[in-house]
């Protein structure tokens, strides 16, 4: 989706940071919901993800997904997939493309993803 007049402008990445892009249209809608319903927490998540997408050691709020969710495919490339807990139920999942210094949002929602309820 191309930006349109009147839409929010995303900040550029920090010099040593990562750019954030959407993986699909569901991620766009979910991100907009997070920005509306959990503004401060989403802003904190944005800066945490774009400045340190793969924290070592991981935290309870910011960690790599496990098992078959540990990697995801974007444009034919397999990339590590991480999760950031925005609120008690809200989550952001993203792929880390370190070579291009970008993260790709694959899931963003105010609801906990069912895929991790195993």
- Fill in the DSSP letter of residue 64: E
pLDDT in tens, 70-97: 999 999 999 999 999 999 899 999 999 9
Indicate the domain borders of the chain: 19-111
Residue 3 reports pLDDT greater than 80: no
Residue 117 reports pLDDT greater than 60: no
State the alpha helices, DSSP H only, in 8-82: 25-37, 39-51
19-111 belongs to which homologous superfamily? RelE-like (3.30.2310.20)
CA-wise closest residue to 86 among 116, 47, 118: 47
Q: What is the mean pLDDT of residues 89-118?
A: 88
Residue pair 83/70 in contact by the 8 Å Cβ criterion: no
Global confidence as pTM:
0.89
């Amino acid at each position: 989706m191309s930006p349109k007049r009147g839409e929010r402008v995303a900040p550029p990445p920090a010099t040593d940071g990562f750019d954030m892009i959407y993986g699909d249209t569901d991620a766009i809608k979910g991100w907009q919901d997070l920005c509306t319903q959990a503004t401060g927490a989403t802003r904190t998540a944005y800066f945490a993800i774009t400045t340190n997408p793969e924290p070592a050691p991981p935290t309870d709020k910011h960690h790599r997904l496990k098992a078959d969710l540990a990697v995801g495919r974007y444009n034919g490339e397999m990339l590590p997939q991480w999760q950031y807990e925005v609120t008690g139920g809200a989550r952001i999942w993203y792929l880390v493309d370190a070579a291009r210094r970008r993260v790709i949002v694959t899931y963003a929602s105010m609801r906990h993803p069912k895929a991790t309820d195993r």
